Structure formats: structure tokens, C-alpha cells
Amino acid sequence: MDIINKTFIDEDKINGLISKNLKSTTESKEKINEILNKALKAQGLTLEESAVLLNIEDDETLEKLFKTAKIVKEKIYGKRIVIFAPLYASNVCTNNCVYCAFRMDNKNIKRTVLTPEEVVEETKALMRMGHKRILLLTGEDYHATGLDYLQEIMERIYKAKELNGEIRRINVNIAPLSVEDFKRLNTFEIGTYSLFQETYRKETYVEMHPSGRKANYEWRLEAMDRALEAGLNDIGIGPLFGLTDYKFETLATLMHSEHLDKKFGVGPHTISVPRIEPAEGAELSKNPPAQMSDKEFKKLVSVIRLAVPYTGLILSTRETPQMRREVIELGVSQISAASQTNPGGYHVHKDAVSQFEAGDTRSLEEMVVELCEHGFLPSFCTSCYRLGRVGKNFMEHAKTGHIHTFCQPNALSTFKEYLEDYGSEKTKEIGNALIKRQLEEITDEKMKELTKNNIQKISEGKRDLYI
């Protein structure tokens, strides 16, 4: 039976763009060069232009694509990499996603909903590492982990302290809500609300989500419209790559982004690019129907960066250390570090089943050192959320590249905090050398002086200073 899709995701258009001009010709290479030159202006690309880039196959042209993505990423975000960690509060779920360990029919795992006290213990474990920003996740059960529960644990997280540690911003990934419930969620001091469509191809979506409220394609797809209608400022989207053709998913993600930007004047604050990894009790995850190569993964990351240069690109610990090193160069601006994907995984229930297998199990400090060694600036900054640089205001700064004016100084300040409170002597030596070099790159003399003063105050014991 044919499944009709009557949403803003135009599958016929996407399929048509993918099939057009697949063969590499002299003419198409000239067109590619024109598109890459346009992309260097960091003003974004059309769907048609993005499709042309996704059809690149030869290594020489791919290298041009990767080089362009790196230039644009640094033009908007500099060498900053924002660091966060996920905190799973439950694995109770009423959906039956065939690729997920938390699916309802998986009888091989113990179901857990952390108590508020256990959530605080998990939070303190993250604070002891040095984390300042978390992504709070729950299984999709509207009763076991509803808004009352979420409000209580968020209040507890914000109040929790451990030495100099604190969580300054909670981003949230929970089941899609009604407009009224999104309005209530918006009173909880959340940062970004994230929700993944998993797959934008409706026929595939129906196959992968056989039961539960998540089986309703439109309810999930239109969640971000409801969230923005309810007054939320920042939202994060993304597919789960591996369920269907990566070119389709990439263009559909960009189409979703375009829809939100046109309708609300606010595109996605973040786009995540997770690939399916093996999950216990989910056989499909061990042999994904549309597995892609690493080269194809690097290509789609680069295309997204050029198409929506203002959007933060998030990379999780699903990827191996080597792959993370490579795609950070191409457009990723946020990464998770030292992640546990099971409720209680940091302290309370270390033996609980994870949602999926992680490819990168390094500690936060190991990740920080590697970033420094490659010239990247680890950032624990949350200032934009707290100063109102969110939603349209953030987009105005990001689309013009002016966000760099604030982000580099604040990244340096928060990194100095991390070094003072958590860094080993070796890490401090490497990190302070990086701070010194990056300070000299600030061209605005007044901003440079403000930043130097903040860093000095942090050395003297002050905390949470930002511009």
C-alpha cells in the first residue's frame, strides 16, 4: 500500500534532486566549483545546490568540499568546540523503535526511572569531571517521566553543587508535546529542545516505528512547529543515519530547516548527525538497512555545514575517536564527551544496559587534551542562553558571523575555569598555552582586554564570568 506524505517534506522533490546529474562531468565540476565559491560567503545553500554536492564521488572534488567546509566552519565558529554530556534519567519507553535498546518489546533490559535524588548523584558525577552543560534525556513515556517529573529533576539539577561545579544549562530531549505542554516546558529554564525525526522517509518511518505514539509520523514531524508556536527559542533536529539513503535524509533535514526558518524566522539551533550503532535487543541496529561509508559521512557533514552555516552541528560518542577527529575539522561545533547512555551510568547504576554502543569512551580530560593538541578551543560556555542571545536574536548574530565576537572570549573564560578546577598539571600546561595563543587572535582590543581581565580574575578564584 502506498503511503501518502502530505507534509512540508516533499519526498518527490528530494528524490528528483538526488537522481539529477549523478554522473560526474566537466560541466558538473564547473557547477560544483561555482557552488563551493558561493558557499565560502557563509550565506548558505539551496536544496538544489546541496544535492549537487551530495552527488560528488571523486576524491579530488571531495577534498575541495571538505576544505570549503572547514573554512566556513572556522569563519562562523572559529576553533571553538562546545562540550556537553548526556544524562539519561530513564529507559522506560512506550514506543517500539526496532533499532533501539529501549524499545518496549525488549525484555532483556531492566527498566529504570531515576529518583530525583539519583539524578542529583548523576549530576554531581558529571560536575566532578568538569561538565557545565548537559542534555537531559528520558525514554518516551508520558506518564512515568511526564512534565511534573521533569520539572522536579531540572530544579534539583540546577540547585546541585559539587566543589566549584555546577550545571549552568540543561538542554532537553524528550517526547514531543502539545502546544500547551510545550508552553509549560518553556517555563523550566531549558536551553535547546531537541527531537530527532529518525527518518524523514515516511514509508521507512512507519516500518521502523510499528507501535507507540511515535508511530505517528506527522505528530513527531510537526513537533518543532508546536514548540516554536509555544514560545520555545531554540530547537535541535536531526535524522538517525542508516535507516534509509543518507542523501535523502540530509536533504530532508535541510528541507525541515528551511521550513522552520521561513515559517518562524528561526532555523534549528543545532543539527545532530548520529549514525546507527549496535544496541542490545535490537537486531536491526547490528545490520542497518542503509549503512554508509565514512567518506559518505564526512561528505554529508560538510554539506550540512555549508547549507546552514549558522547552525551548530553536534557529534556524539557514537563515532570512533578517529572519525571524531576528522569530522570536527569539517563542520562539527559541539561534541559530547565521556558519555554514558544508560540511566545511572555515571554513578548510580553502572551496569544498566546502554541505549547503544559508544565508539568513543575517552574521559573528558583526554578529549580536552586532544582538542588542544589539534588547535581547538574546548568551550563550556552557556552565556548566550543566560543573556538572551537565543532564537531570532542568536540567529541574527550567527548568520552574520558576529556571534564569534562573544563566543571566543567566553570560551576562553570557561576553559580557564576548567583548567583551574579540574586540569592536571600537564593539561594546565597545554591548555594555558592554547589560551595565550587564542587571546592574541582577538582583534578587538577592548574585547581582548576584557577577556584578559576575566581570565586573571578566574585565576584568582572568581567563577562564571562572561561577556
pLDDT tens, 300-314? 999 999 999 999 999
Task: Please indicate, yes or no, whether residues 175 and 239 belong to a single structural domain of this protein.
Answer: yes
Task: Please indicate, yes or no, whether residues 159 and 297 belong to a single structural domain of this protein.
Answer: yes
Positive or negative: CA dihedral 413, 414, 417, 419: negative
Which one, of 255, 293, 250, lies nearest residue 272 by Cα? Answer: 250
* 277-294: pLDDT as tens digits: 999 999 999 999 999 999
CATH code (residue 295) = 3.20.20.70
Task: Please indicate, yes or no, whether residues 227 and 345 belong to a single structural domain of this protein.
Answer: yes
CB atoms within 10 A of CB 20: 11
Domain boundary among 309, 333, 362: 362
* 160-187: pLDDT as tens digits: 999 889 999 999 999 999 999 999 999 9
Does 57 reside within a domain? no
| pLDDT of the residue at 2 | 46
Tell me: pLDDT of 354 over 50. yes
Task: Please indicate, yes or no, whether residues 414 and 346 belong to a single structural domain of this protein.
Answer: no
CB atoms within 10 A of CB 193: 25
Task: Please indicate, yes or no, whether residues 227 and 278 belong to a single structural domain of this protein.
Answer: yes
Does 3 reside within a domain? no
Task: Please indicate, yes or no, whether residues 352 and 425 belong to a single structural domain of this protein.
Answer: no
Tell me: pLDDT of 153 over 70. yes
Q: Give the position of cell 544496541.
A: 279
With b for 16 or more beta-carbon neighbours within 10 A and e for fewer, the 299-338 pattern comes to: bbbbbbbbbbbbbbbbbbbbbeeebbebbbbbbbbbbbbb
Check if the beta carbon of residue 126 is closer than 8 Å to that of residue 337.
Answer: no
Percent of the chain at pLDDT > 90 equals: 85
Tell me: pLDDT of 205 over 70. yes
| pLDDT of the residue at 27 | 58
Please give the average per-residue pLDDT across 423-435, as a whole number: 97
Task: Please indicate, yes or no, whether residues 350 and 409 belong to a single structural domain of this protein.
Answer: no
User: Rounded distance, CA 51 to CA 248, Å?
Assistant: 9
Does 270 reside within a domain? yes
Confidence grade of residue 329 (pLDDT, cut at 50, 70, 90):
very high
Q: Is the pTM of this model over 0.85?
A: yes
Task: Please indicate, yes or no, whether residues 332 and 424 belong to a single structural domain of this protein.
Answer: no
Domain boundary among 312, 338, 362: 362
User: Rounded distance, CA 177 to CA 212, Å?
Assistant: 14
Does 322 reside within a domain? yes
Instruction: Tell me which residue range forms the domain holding 445.
Output: 403-459
Task: Please indicate, yes or no, whether residues 214 and 302 belong to a single structural domain of this protein.
Answer: yes
| pLDDT of the residue at 163 | 86
User: Rounded distance, CA 4 to CA 441, Å?
Assistant: 53
**133 forms bridges with which residues in the sheet?**
169
Does 12 reside within a domain? no
User: Rounded distance, CA 257 to CA 84, Å?
Assistant: 23
Does 389 reside within a domain? no
CB atoms within 10 A of CB 79: 20
Task: Please indicate, yes or no, whether residues 343 and 410 belong to a single structural domain of this protein.
Answer: no
* 403-416: pLDDT as tens digits: 566 688 999 999 99
Does 162 reside within a domain? yes
Confidence grade of residue 1 (pLDDT, cut at 50, 70, 90):
very low
Q: Three-state secondary structure along the chain?
A: CCCCCCCCCCHHHHHHHHHCCCCCCHHHHHHHHHHHHHHCCCCCCCHHHHHHHHCCCCHHHHHHHHHHHHHHHHHHHCCEEEEEEEEECECCCCCCCCCCCCCCCCCCCCCCECCHHHHHHHHHHHHHHCCCEEEEECCCCCCCCCHHHHHHHHHHHHHCCECCECCCEEEEECCCCCHHHHHHHCCCCEEEEECCCECCCHHHHHHHCCCCHHHCHHHHHCHHHHHHHCCCCEEEECECECCCCHHHHHHHHHHHHHHHHHHHCCCCCEEECCECCCECCEHHHHCCCCCCCHHHHHHHHHHHHHHCCCCEEEECCCCCHHHHHHHHCCCCCEEECCCCCCCCCCCCCCCCCCCCCCCCCCCHHHHHHHHHHCCCEEECCCHHHHHCCCHHHHHHHHHHCCHHHHHHHHHHHHHHHHHHHHCCHHHHHHHHHHHHHHHCCCCCHHHHHHHHHHHHHHHCCCCCCCC
Count of structural domains within the chain: 2
| pLDDT of the residue at 11 | 97
Task: Please indicate, yes or no, whether residues 190 and 261 belong to a single structural domain of this protein.
Answer: yes
Does 367 reside within a domain? no
Please give the average per-residue pLDDT across 141-161, as a whole number: 96
What residue type is 340 in one-letter code?
Answer: Q
| 260-269, 317-326, 380-389: least confidently modelled range | 380-389
Which one, of 418, 319, 317, lies nearest residue 372 by Cα? Answer: 418
Domain boundary among 343, 362, 381: 362
Which one, of 102, 49, 152, lies nearest residue 343 by Cα? Answer: 102
Task: Please indicate, yes or no, whether residues 357 and 453 belong to a single structural domain of this protein.
Answer: no
Percent of the chain at pLDDT > 70 equals: 93
